[in-house]
């Protein structure tokens, strides 16, 4: 049985590709890659087809994994049936997903950071207008959430 996970943010060039990369890296290290299907998507269409933001790529490289091959795409209706769990990076992403979800959607929709076990941290803040430090924090938050998520599955 495959578990199918979709990570979602606004542009699909900073946070959700970082989360996808962090989860892939974790699964590779645990030898569990074959058991999971991973993808990421955005709710906004400004960066469709683009590689992750260079600053996100660099932060992931500093953490030891590569996200350069990922390309931005939009969330689509089929995602709400295909994936088991859709993970929103922030509360706007969560409300957009709930609004887009068909009434008979089968995917669970949750905040990614609800799995992180970091009291008081509910969201992955948008690093787009931030610094390299903010991109490193994005990686660290995603790694914590992915660890907790894997433990919960």
Conformational region of residue 84, where left means phi above 0, alpha means psi within -120 to 50, and beta covers everything else: alpha
Strand partners, 36: 3
HSE on the CB side for 63, CA within 13 Å? 29
- For the bound state, the minimum distance from the C-beta of residue 124 to ligand 4NP, rounded and expressed in Å, comes to 8
- For the bound state, the minimum distance from the C-beta of residue 116 to ligand 4NP, rounded and expressed in Å, comes to 16
Annotated catalytic residue, options 15, 39, 53, 142: 15
- Return d(Cα 95, Cα 147) in angstroms, integer: 24
Please give the helix or strand (H or E) that residue 85 lies within, else none.
strand 85-88
Please give the helix or strand (H or E) that residue 55 lies within, else none.
helix 54-62
- 15 catalytic, yes or no? yes
Annotated catalytic residue, options 25, 96, 126, 146: 126
Dihedral of CA atoms 116, 109, 135, 72 in degrees, nearest 10, equals 150
Residue in 28, 35, 46, 76 binding ligand 4NP, rule: CB under 6 A: 46
Number of chain positions touching ligand 4NP (CB under 6 A): 11
Q: Which is nearer to ligand 4NP, 36 or 128 (CB)?
A: 128
Residue 9 interacting with ligand 4NP (CB under 6 A): yes
Residue 145 interacting with ligand 4NP (CB under 6 A): no
- 9 catalytic, yes or no? yes
The residues binding ligand 4NP (CB under 6 A) are 9-15, 46-47, 126, 128
Catalytic sites, residue numbers: 9, 15, 126
């Amino acid at each position: 049985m495959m578990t199918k996970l979709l990570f979602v943010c606004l542009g699909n060039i900073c946070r959700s590709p970082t989360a996808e990369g962090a989860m892939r890296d974790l699964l590779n290290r645990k030898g569990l890659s074959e058991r999971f299907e991973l993808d990421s998507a955005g709710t906004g269409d400004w960066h469709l087809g683009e590689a992750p933001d260079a600053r996100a790529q660099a932060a992931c490289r500093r953490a030891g994994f590569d996200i350069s091959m990922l390309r931005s795409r939009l969330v689509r209706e089929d995602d709400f049936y295909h994936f088991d769990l859709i993970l929103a990076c922030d509360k706007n992403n969560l409300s957009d997903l709930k609004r887009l979800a068909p009434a008979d959607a089968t995917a669970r929709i949750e905040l990614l950071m609800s799995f992180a076990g970091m009291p008081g941290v509910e969201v992955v803040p948008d690093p787009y207008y931030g610094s390299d430090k903010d991109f490193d924090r994005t990686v660290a938050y995603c790694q914590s959430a992915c660890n907790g998520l894997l433990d919960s599955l």
